[in-house]
Chain A
Amino acid sequence: FLQMLLPKLDRQQEDSSHSGATRAFSRKTLTWRLVGEAYSSQLSVDEQRYIFKLAFRMWSEVIPLNFREDLTAPGAMVNIKLGFGRGRHLGCTRVFDGSGQEFAHAWRLGDIHFDDDEHFTPPTSDTGISLLKVAVHEIGHVLGLPHIYRTGSIMHPNYTPHEPAFELDWSDRKAIQKLYGSCKGSFDIAFDWIRKERNQYGEMMVRFSTYFFRNSWYWLYENRNNRTRYGDPIQILTGWHGIPAENIDAFVHIWTRRRDERYFFKGSQYWRYDGDKDQALLEDEQGRSYPRLISEGFPGIPSPLDTAFYDRKKQLIYFFKESFVFAFDINRNQVLNSYPMKLTEVFPAITPQNHPFRNIDSAYYSYAHNSIFFFKGNAYWKVVSEKDKQQNSRLPSNGLFPKKHISEKWFDLCDVHISTLNM
């Protein structure tokens, strides 16, 4: 046991990379374990493991690093080991001082020790010392962060009691992203979901939330806070009912004075979603049952699709497949005569060769930016908007600005380990 905790110079340093910043680990998935002989006597073992699982997940929500609890590998192979002890503990050279003052410490690239003389409590309690908060802090050290003397930082050396549910704030995110970079990746769909609500004066208000879907999970993106919702990503199954559980091709919201229809597309079929009931419709008001074949509902449109978006002004749906675009007139329920056309023709590159050409992942009309964005891989191309055109009339209609990184416009869209997706 002692041997397990002695620094594994060869093993761990093999993990670390010296890229100039004080980065600690270079692999994408790290393993952790609450050491069996070092459980706390204050909380149930399941509670302790759940809290550590959540603590690791909170870091992986903001950096491209996953954490997996490993209960079987030999101890020496586990990247991060956590344990509780009192006074002289776990072969550690630093002796704990009993209740009060020092409540935990972390060894770089390795182990985290908690002083079991402290009164550690679960996140739901407002007494004692939150084990979740201390765990997030100590994991921050293991990942390479020093103490940060900033009010509100999780890396402040002193514990601040009675704080409501805490989260990694903007500065802490930037600090850890300086070491590990920001999260990149492609998206299946991105869309704004419109909500119509009446305010206290009975006036109809329109609000929207932005969603990003990837594989079988999704994020709500809070535009006003420039980050994802705390606790995201979560499983599509959890938040949306009756649509496919993963790999959705497109989302289209037909929104006119008389129509308000939302559709999800996957493969050869499409589903209609009822926002009020928060459920995919089995049958619409005309008695049509869902899911329906795309070829039935949108004659002339091929499947599976790459993506699609609805242009409210022109009342056209643009469907994308490979290097072609199909403009579908929702009033005449047919593809415009001049389509399909080449993607490069309908949406020309402003800078030659700086174009997605084919197989875009998602076409997203953002109400926050009043612009259309084409996503492909971890890059986006912004389509010339009316405002752009007013500022520079020489820009081509529907032209594509040179590509940029999605992660530089939408922040912290990070995966978490599949074992923690349901937390």
Chain B
Amino acid sequence: EALFHSRDRSDLELSPLHQARPIADLQAAQRFLSRYGWSAVSSARSPNLERTTEAPASISLADAMRRFQKANALPVSGKLDTATLVAMNKPRCGVPDTQLPSQTTLSTPLGLQPRARPKR
């Protein structure tokens, strides 16, 4: 049991073993971008999607970084700066943010993209 002493459990102490590993370097950032759909998709099946298509190889890390920065109203530099790290470490939902569009629709603004559903 997570340890607590007051009735309303407001002093809940989470054991250090269960702390999410902060995103602090480029490799972790790359994993973050991949996990939430901003670049190549990890092999595990993502929730809220049946099965997503492999990202075109041409989406580079900088590209993905830029798209993430733009969606989060951060300076679009394509580089892993402090503001981007802060955004990546915020509490968030585990559902991927975007579905990788087909190459043709890449330029459409994020968030407004139609969902690409494979035909039944």
Residue pair B93, A104 in contact (C-beta under 8 Å): yes
Q: A97-B21, A98-B19, A127-B10 are in contact. Are A157 and B45 (CB under 8 A)?
A: no
Measured in the bound complex, the distance between the Cα atoms of B115 and A105 in whole Å is 18
Residue pair B18, A119 in contact (C-beta under 8 Å): no
Nearest-Cβ distance from residue B82 to partner chain A, whole angstroms: 17
Residues of A within 8 A of B95 (CB): 105-106, 138, 141, 146-147, 157
Neighbour of A147 across the interface among B8, B21, B97, CB < 8 A: B97
**Residues of chain B in range 45-65 having any CB-CB distance to chain A below 8 Å:** 45-50
Q: A97-B20, A103-B92, A137-B93 are in contact. Are A41 and B48 (CB under 8 A)?
A: no
Nearest-Cβ distance from residue A104 to partner chain B, whole angstroms: 6
- The digit string for A98-117, where 1 denotes a CB below 8 A from any CB of B, is 11111111111000000001
Measured in the bound complex, the distance between the Cα atoms of B20 and A102 in whole Å is 8
Q: Does B9 contact A (CB under 8 A)?
A: yes
Measured in the bound complex, the distance between the Cα atoms of B104 and A80 in whole Å is 35
- The number of inter-chain residue pairs (CB within 8 angstroms) is 119
In the complex, what residue of chain A is closest to B36 when comparing beta carbons? A157
Residue pair B1, A41 in contact (C-beta under 8 Å): yes
Q: A22-B117, A99-B20, A100-B19 are in contact. Are A157 and B44 (CB under 8 A)?
A: no
Q: Does B76 contact A (CB under 8 A)?
A: no
Q: Does A256 contact B (CB under 8 A)?
A: no
Measured in the bound complex, the distance between the Cα atoms of B114 and A25 in whole Å is 18
Q: Does A86 contact B (CB under 8 A)?
A: yes
Residue pair B47, A147 in contact (C-beta under 8 Å): no
Residues of A within 8 A of B22 (CB): 100
**Residues of chain A in range 78-94 having any CB-CB distance to chain B below 8 Å:** 86-87, 93-94
Residues of B within 8 A of A147 (CB): 93, 95-98, 111
Residues of A within 8 A of B99 (CB): 146
Q: Does B77 contact A (CB under 8 A)?
A: no
- The digit string for B23-48, where 1 denotes a CB below 8 A from any CB of A, is 10000000000001000000011111
- The digit string for B90-115, where 1 denotes a CB below 8 A from any CB of A, is 11111111110000000000110001
Residue pair A101, B91 in contact (C-beta under 8 Å): yes
Q: A117-B14, A149-B111 are in contact. Are A102 and B92 (CB under 8 A)?
A: yes
Nearest-Cβ distance from residue A23 to partner chain B, whole angstroms: 11
Measured in the bound complex, the distance between the Cα atoms of B110 and A22 in whole Å is 17
- The digit string for A135-171, where 1 denotes a CB below 8 A from any CB of B, is 0011001000011111000000111000000000000
Measured in the bound complex, the distance between the Cα atoms of B12 and A87 in whole Å is 18
Residues of A within 8 A of B97 (CB): 147, 149, 157
Measured in the bound complex, the distance between the Cα atoms of B2 and A156 in whole Å is 29
In the complex, what residue of chain B is closest to A134 when comparing beta carbons? B93
Measured in the bound complex, the distance between the Cα atoms of B93 and A105 in whole Å is 6
Q: Does B83 contact A (CB under 8 A)?
A: no
Residue pair B48, A107 in contact (C-beta under 8 Å): yes
Residue pair A108, B111 in contact (C-beta under 8 Å): no
Residue pair B48, A119 in contact (C-beta under 8 Å): no
Interface of B is mostly: loop
Residue pair A158, B47 in contact (C-beta under 8 Å): no
Residue pair B90, A93 in contact (C-beta under 8 Å): no
Residues of B within 8 A of A108 (CB): 47-50
Q: Does B5 contact A (CB under 8 A)?
A: no
Residue pair A42, B93 in contact (C-beta under 8 Å): no
Q: Does A18 contact B (CB under 8 A)?
A: yes
In the complex, what residue of chain B is closest to A13 when comparing beta carbons? B120
- The interface centre, meaning the residue of B36, B92, B98 with most chain A CB atoms within 10 A of its CB, is B92
In the complex, what residue of chain A is closest to B37 when comparing beta carbons? A147
Residue pair B45, A93 in contact (C-beta under 8 Å): yes
Q: A22-B117, A42-B2, A100-B19 are in contact. Are A105 and B94 (CB under 8 A)?
A: yes
Measured in the bound complex, the distance between the Cα atoms of B94 and A100 in whole Å is 12
Neighbour of B71 across the interface among A99, A102, A149, CB < 8 A: A149
Measured in the bound complex, the distance between the Cα atoms of B8 and A86 in whole Å is 21
Residue pair B20, A129 in contact (C-beta under 8 Å): no
Neighbour of B92 across the interface among A18, A94, A157, CB < 8 A: A157
- The digit string for A364-386, where 1 denotes a CB below 8 A from any CB of B, is 00000000000000000000000
Q: A42-B2, A99-B19, A105-B47 are in contact. Are A158 and B111 (CB under 8 A)?
A: no
**5 interchain residue pairs of minimum CB distance:** A105-B94, A100-B20, A97-B20, A98-B18, A117-B18
| Residues of A that sit less than 8 Å from B by CB | 18, 22, 41-43, 86-87, 93-94, 96-108, 117-119, 125, 127-129, 134, 137-138, 141, 146-150, 157-159
